[in-house]
Amino acid sequence: MRISRRRFLVTAGLAGLGAGLPVGHLEAGGQEEQSIPILNGAVARKELNLKFLFQGDSITDGKWGRDQRDLNHYLGHGYVFAIASRLGADFPNAGFQFTNRGMSGHRLSDLEKRWKKDTLDHRPDVLSILVGVNDLNALQRKKPDAYTAKEFDAHYRQLLDETFKSNPALLLVLAPPFMYKVGARIEQWAFWEKELAPRAEIVRRLAKDYNAVFVDYPALFARAIKIAPVEYWLWDGCHPSVFGHELMAREWIRSVSSRLSFLKKYTCVA
């Protein structure tokens, strides 16, 4: 099925994110010298020099380069890269810093073990967390240290309490785990369908309790799979394709724009 780019963005509820951005002009001597397709807009003083940190599992990891001197690979190739590349290019004078510390295969318990080194010591201003699907994998495999839903809630709260004690002014961004009926998950779907929803609800409740931005990726993909098959967006039901990561980046920007005013500049419709 062929659809126009505009129709897709509107149907999926994603109009404006990366669609036909305004053009910034560089002028010399009163004459237009060059046009660059970036926003290059002003950023409020309180939003300058923000440190963005992304935490989670393989969806966030995106194979980010462990050699941080390699600026071609240091953020990975997923939604974190898509967010940072857009904001860094469109606001080059804002002094933003981006760090990816997602780790493939990690559960909430793994984040707890490395939280000080990989989160608190970075002193982020904006902290985005997406974790939980590996916790369910562990539960499905009956690993003795797997967190139940109640334990997942309690340990997540402890982690957030510790984080806000370190930085009460932190802007927190939370996203729920997601999984779809694809590939190996088809035979296990009764388990995933039963256990996934409570974890998603826990994260939604945490976002409310800790005054965080909630990025509703499940709702996003529910809209997207009405337009193209789920495998187009999430090739194995969990890990996004290039296109899925781009949708996640757009939804993250749209959601966080409720708290960061400069992100409201992403409002153009193609």
For the stretch 150-194, pLDDT in tens is: 999 999 999 999 999 999 999 999 999 999 988 777 888 888 888
pLDDT at 33: 53
Q: What domains does the chain contain, in order, with CATH numbers? A: 43-261 (3.40.50.1110)
Residue 20 confidence (pLDDT):
34
Q: Does position 110 have pLDDT exceeding 70, yes or no?
A: yes
- Give the helix ranges, DSSP H, for 68-148: 79-90, 108-118, 133-140
Give 24 or 72, the one with higher predicted confidence.
72
The mean predicted confidence, pLDDT, of the chain is 86
pLDDT at 267 over 80: no
For residue 27, the number of C-alpha atoms closer than 13 Å in the C-beta half-sphere is 7
Q: How many CB atoms lie under 10 A from the CB of residue 16?
A: 20
In this structure, what are the phi and psi dihedrals at residue 145, rounded to the nearest 5 degrees? -100, 10
pLDDT at 16 exceeding the cut of 50: no
99, 178, 179, 194 from 188: Cα distances, Å: 35, 14, 11, 10
Question: Is it the case that residue 216 has pLDDT exceeding 50?
Answer: yes
> What dihedral angle (degrees, nearest 10) is formed by the CA atoms of 161, 101, 135, 216?
80
- Please report the pLDDT score of residue 189 as a whole number: 85
**pTM for the whole structure:** 0.85
Pairing type for strands 213-214 and 51-56 reads unpaired
Tell me the C-alpha distance between 129 and 36, whole Å. 33
Residue 21 vs residues 29, 96, 100, 254, 267: alpha-carbon distances, Å: 26, 20, 26, 14, 8
Sign of the CA dihedral running 99, 105, 109, 114: negative
Q: Note every long-range contact of 111-115, with CB atoms under 8 Å and residues 24 or more positions apart, other chains counting.
A: 111/55, 111/56, 111/159, 112/155, 112/158, 112/159, 115/159, 115/162, 115/163
pLDDT at residue 48 above 60?
yes
Confidence of residue 32 (pLDDT cuts 50, 70, 90): low
pLDDT on residue 34: 62
Residue 76 has pLDDT above 90, yes or no: yes
Among 63-77, 114-128, 152-166, 175-189, the least confident range: 63-77
Which of the 8 DSSP states describes residue 49? Answer: T
